[in-house]
A and B are shown apart, each in its own frame.
Chain A
Amino acid sequence: MSTEPLLAVRGLAVVIGGRHILHGVDLDVAPSGVTALLGRNGAGKTTTVRGVLGLVPRTGSVRFLGEETVRLATHALVRRGVGYAPEDRGIFAALTVAENLRLAERPGAGGPAYGLVHELFPELKARAKQLAGTLSGGQQQMVAIGRTLLNGNRLIIADEPTKGLAPKVVTEVARVLERAAQAVPVLLVEQNLAMVRRLAEHCVVLADGRTAHRGPAADLLADPEATRRLLGVGRRADAVSEENPMAPQDTGTAATSAADSGKAGA
């Protein structure tokens, strides 16, 4: 297998309303497994993802599958094989579950993989005709992730897929992403370090709109000083309860990243 990164971002800069949100983000997504994008609240994680996709004006270089995409419109990059589950889940509340999924269908080899989506989330089949706005947070996240699995994508970008979900649902989302990552590389923005520990092989840490650290996820999590310095975690990252490994930690990074998302939506 090629060791060339699937997605290579260099010097990504984003200016919104005269404010420099990103100053120069470098990140690689490995051609297999999960790459975690970490950082404190407001470090620029969501803006990085939106910048990669072209949802905010950006400069720098974004190479996907060896092709420079920084001048491509969002839909053109996505059609090259990117599935995106945004932080706010991006659900169309006034459309049904089935319509939300149908929107994500793209013409291509084999047609949409409803078999896979319904196998992973049987509930989506049962609730096909329900308005997506009436679903629970966990069910909406299933729709969001289901949409990324429909098209045989080459890369899945999941922005805090476990945010605001009950512990049981977090475990479910982790299970699905783990399974998806066996087939498709995943770029995972995550605050829940137990989730990162379970899924991620590589990690990129942002601080103040720049890349502050890159390397194997396990090495970072094993280094209490580095996790504290880079992520603001107040205690050892592996102090998560073994009984409930997916429970969010009571540390700064596990808190909701309102600042991060608020800025990205500006």
Chain B
Amino acid sequence: MSTTVLLAVTGLGLGALYFLVAAGLSLIFGLMDVLNFAHGALLSVGAYATWWAAGGHLPGAGSGGFGFVLAVCFGTAVGTVAAVVLELALIRPLYDRPREQVLATVGVGLAVPALLSAIWGPDARPFPGPAALSGTFGLLGARIPVNRLVLIGAAAVVLVALRLFLGGTRHGLVVRAGVEDRAMVTALGIDVRRAFTLVFAIGGAAAALGGALGGLYYGSVDPGQGTSLLIFAFVVVVIGGTFGAGGSGAATGSVAGAALAAVVVGLVQQFANYYTASGLGDLAVVVLLAVLLLLKPGGVTGRLA
């Protein structure tokens, strides 16, 4: 029983991490048809910026209490700025050339880890975190690491905030409409490119927050973290697309679909890794993806979002 509880909570924590990456990926693809292979790099940027700030390099920031909160905010802000710069400098000039756009994001996705590795080395660096978050607590006989709850809580807050943004603001309305028909949005006098930049900023912020809190989850940061998470985040986006089809609104449906898919993927991975051989969990997720796509191919070709 205690093992099941621990696996479930750990799976949920991993799912929360996937969701933080997948939410932005899904919105960006839904609105702009851009497969952002640089999204993992944004997570890494957030992780390293948080690690750097929490290591005492940013005045006021540190590894404990308010200092850590400040470090996480700093990491998230740096990731957000990186996402906006990415959109304005690389994605926007290539709107009419989707193939080059993909190549450019792949390039950034390779260059950023290489850069991080060049500056801070290829090895994992211990991630400083507050003592309060490094402990465990008892739940149904299991000892659960507190940082899992932090991740799950953060993902829940991001999910609620995204739904409020999409459902309750004019910018959110523009994003939802743009997911359906970008050209018609411009034909109503709306500069849809501003929505593109906004969605990149939101996606970058969520991924960078994922990076900051992922440091707690893994206990370390390394240059390849973002890339390996990105693969599973893409799986989550595609599975979420098969869930979200026919939901309430395409965009809100995609965010909810991504959340549900993230939970499923996280749980399947944890349980399969524990009860079969280590590593089979990753394979199980890919098999799950293949089965869902065979059963419901419209999930990808129709609208991911």
Contacts and interface: CB of A to CB of B under 8 A. Distances in A.
**8 smallest A-B Cβ distances: which pairs?**
A78-B189, A90-B184, A74-B186, A94-B249, A79-B189, A75-B186, A92-B177, A75-B191
B96 to A, nearest CB: 9
Interface of B: 170, 173-174, 176-177, 180-181, 183-192, 248-250, 253
A102 interface: yes
A84 interface: yes
Given A75-B192, A94-B248, A103 B174 contact: yes
Contacts of A93: 180
Contact of B187 (A74, A94, A102, A106): A74
Nearest to A104: B188
A106 B186 contact: no
A161 B174 CA distance: 25
B187 A86 contact: yes
A86 B177 CA distance: 16
Nearest to B248: A94
Given A55-B186, A94-B176, 11 more contacts: A55-B183, A74-B183, A76-B191, A86-B184, A86-B187, A92-B177, A92-B180, A92-B184, A94-B250, A94-B253, A103-B188
Given A94-B250, A95-B176, A106 B184 contact: no
B253 to A, nearest CB: 8
B187 A84 contact: yes
A124 interface: no
A167 to B, nearest CB: 27
Interface of A: 53, 55, 73-76, 78-79, 84, 86, 90, 92-95, 99, 102-104, 106, 147, 151
A148 to B, nearest CB: 10
Contacts of B183: 55, 74
A67 to B, nearest CB: 16
Nearest to B303: A94
Most buried by B among A53, A55, A90, A151: A90
Given A75-B190, A75-B192, A95 B173 contact: yes
Given A94-B176, A99-B173, A103-B173, A78 B186 contact: yes
Given A94-B250, A99-B173, A55 B187 contact: yes
A158 to B, nearest CB: 13
Nearest to B177: A92
Nearest to B96: A57
Contacts of B184: 86, 90, 92
Contacts of B192: 75
Contacts of A95: 173, 176-177, 180, 249
Contacts of A79: 189
A93 B302 CA distance: 15
Contact of B185 (A73, A86, A103): A103
Nearest to B178: A92
A214 B167 CA distance: 48
A75 B187 CA distance: 6
B167 to A, nearest CB: 10
B181 A92 contact: yes
Nearest to B250: A94
Nearest to A133: B180
B38 to A, nearest CB: 26
B30 to A, nearest CB: 11
Nearest to B247: A94
A256 B186 CA distance: 26
Contact of A73 (B180, B186, B253): B186
Contact of A102 (B173, B185, B248): B173
A78 B189 CA distance: 5
A53 B253 CA distance: 31
A169 B183 CA distance: 27
